[in-house]
Each structure stands twice: as structure tokens, then as C-alpha cells.
Amino acid sequence: MPLWFLTFAEILDFMTRAELFSQIQKKSSFLCVGLDADINKIPAHLKSESDPIFSFCKEIIEETADYAVAYKPNIAFFEALGPQGWETLQKVNELIPKEIFTIADAKRGDIGNTSQLYAKAFFEKMDFDSVTVAPYMGADSVTPFLEFEDKWVILLALTSNVGSMDFQLIKDENGKPLYQTVLEKSQEWGTPENLMYVVGATRGELIGEVRKIVPDHFFLVPGVGAQGGSLEDVAKYGMNSTCGLLVNSSRGIIYASGEKDFGKAARQEAKKLQGEMKNLLEMYL
């Protein structure tokens, strides 16, 4: 197609909030496909390939790219394969179409000079648009990631796992739960243009609480599907005027079939979710 037909995101190697919203509108989707590519779960016929995880991710991406606005490789699955896994990760990231937002789900965070190196690993050595970051160590563990122009931090606020109740919901002396303090404090560090939040889907009404505190920021929402969250609740409580949601599905899509038809099955699942998202966008946007 001629160049003037392409949007900014298709030409450039980074994505603004406006551009992400434009992709969401174009595809009528706020689907993030989680690439939790497990060597023990991928279809057997791939195991004779020279790089089975790459072949798996490649087919998943090719089949679901029409319906996804983001891909989220789960870094642990690649890291567990050793140096070869990092080569695979890099190749996988490179084959994701430029107009699709990429998330290194790494949950990093350390003192300043160390966080800066993690940022370099994901933003420079590889070219991810964003990385998930853990907040426990505070400002100087997060801000080094925010100093990279046109890159995003996705900060853990309220996660979807059982353990989220151990610390994230602890109320301070004024009755404010920790995750709310994380949301408030971190707004001094970044803006809706470079900071998103992980907000689990397992409790719909809590997403509404989060939305009140951060009206403009995007949320990366795990926990829909396999972990039991409801897509309707997420949209009802979480959507804002630029959608403001990236809802992740990993296992439900990528392991929809364990056979040779896994790509087509993933496509069907992604398409189904996109259809639901289209309706929700029409309803709430």
C-alpha cells in the first residue's frame, strides 16, 4: 500500500497514547495476546523445528494480528530457556507488526543504576514499547524506565493473583490501601503518556476504584478468562474516553488447541474476544 496510507505507528517505531487509541478504534479491539510460550505445552509437531518457541509464536502472531492491539511476551518463559531463549525473544519481538504495541512482561525493578540497565535491555538491546515494573522499591526504581523517550512503564498496582491480597490491599493509617498509594505516588513520576498500570480483572468493582484515581491512564488487565475475571465488568468499570484498557488473554488463546490447528484455533478465540470487545466499545465509549 502507498506510504500515505499508513498511520504514524505503522511507520514509526514507537507508539503514543493517541496512536494506541487509533489502533483500538481501527481494529475495534483492546485485546492483548499474552505470549506465555511454554515448551511443555506447545503442539508436539513443532518440537522438531530448529526453534520451536519461535515457530509457535510466529504462527500465533500471524493468526491473531488482525484482532490484537498488543502482544505481551512473558519474559520468564524465554529466560527459562537460557541464552537461546533471549535470542528467541528478540526474534519474536522483531516480527510483531510495528503498529502493534509490545509489552515485555518482566516485572523488573531495582535501585536506579540497575533499573536503568534493565530498561536498556528491553528498550535498546531489544525494542519493546513497554515493560512491566514492580513498585516495591519506590521512585528511583521506576523513574529510570520513564526516562526513555517514547517508551512506557506498566506499573504493578493491583494484580490478579491470590497473593495480591497479602500486601496490596493493606490499609494505611488513613484507611487507604497500598495499591491506591502506589497509584497516587506514581503519578508524580509519569504521565498518561508514558505510564500504564497493571490492574487485575478478578474484582470488577476494584477496577472502578482504580479508574477514579487515574482517570486517563491505560490499564493492562490480566485475569480475564483462565483466572475468572469478566470482560464486561472490566469494560463497565474501567473504560475511559480513549478506551484506556488493554485486556490480556494468554492461555485461552495460545493453547486453544494443542494440535496442528493451534494457529487457527487461536485466531478463532482472538476473533471471538475481539467481537465481544467491539460490542463493549460501542456500548461504553
Binding flag, residue 83, a second copy (CB under 8 A) = yes
Q: Is 91 in the site for a second copy (CB under 8 A)?
A: no
The label of the residue with cell 475511559 reads 240
Q: x-or-dash pattern for a second copy, window 55-74, by CB under 8 A?
A: -------------------x
Active site residue 107: yes
Candidates 56, 77, 101, 152; binder of a second copy (CB under 8 A) is: 77
Residue of the chain from 10, 51, 58, 121 that contacts a second copy (CB under 8 A): 121
Q: Residues binding a second copy: what is the number (CB under 8 A)?
A: 58
Contact pick of 26, 47, 125, 260 for a second copy (by CB under 8 A): 125
Q: Which of 58, 91, 107, 236 is catalytic?
A: 107
Assess contact for 62 and 270: CB atoms under 8 A. no
Q: Is residue 138 part of the contact set for a second copy (CB under 8 A)?
A: yes
Instruction: Name the segment binding a second copy (CB under 8 A); options: 85-93, 202-210, 261-269, 276-284.
Output: 85-93
User: CA 150, 206, 191: angle at the middle one, nearest 5?
Assistant: 20
Binding map of a second copy across residues 235-274, x = CB under 8 A, - = no contact: ----------------------------------------
The answer to whether residues 208 and 219 touch, using CB atoms and an 8 Å cutoff, is no
Q: Is 90 in the site for a second copy (CB under 8 A)?
A: yes
Fill in the DSSP letter of residue 245.
E
3 state DSSP class of 129: coil
The values of phi and psi at residue 128, to 5°, are -75, 150
Transcribe 45-109 into DSSP letters.
Answer: GGGGSSSHHHHHHHHHHHHHTTTEEEEEEBHHHHHTT-HHHHHHHHHHHHHS-TTSEEEEEEEE-
| Calpha distance 56→46 (Å, rounded) | 7
Instruction: Say if CB 178 and CB 167 are below 8 A apart.
Output: yes
The CA distance from 189 to 211, in Å, is 18
Comparing CB distances to a second copy, the nearer of 228 and 275 is 228
Contact (Cβ atoms closer than 8 angstroms) between residue 153 and residue 133: yes
Pair 155, 181: CB distance under 8 Å: no
Site string for a second copy, 182-211 (x = CB under 8 A): x--x--------------------------
| Residue 2 or 82 with smaller CB distance to a second copy | 82
Q: Please select the residue that binds a second copy; options are 3, 163, 205, 282, rule is CB under 8 A.
A: 163
Active site residues: 107
Q: Kindly list the residues in this chain that would bind a second copy in the complex (CB under 8 A).
A: 36, 74, 76-77, 79-84, 86-87, 90, 105, 107-115, 117-118, 120-121, 125-126, 134-142, 156, 159-168, 170-173, 175, 178, 181-182, 185
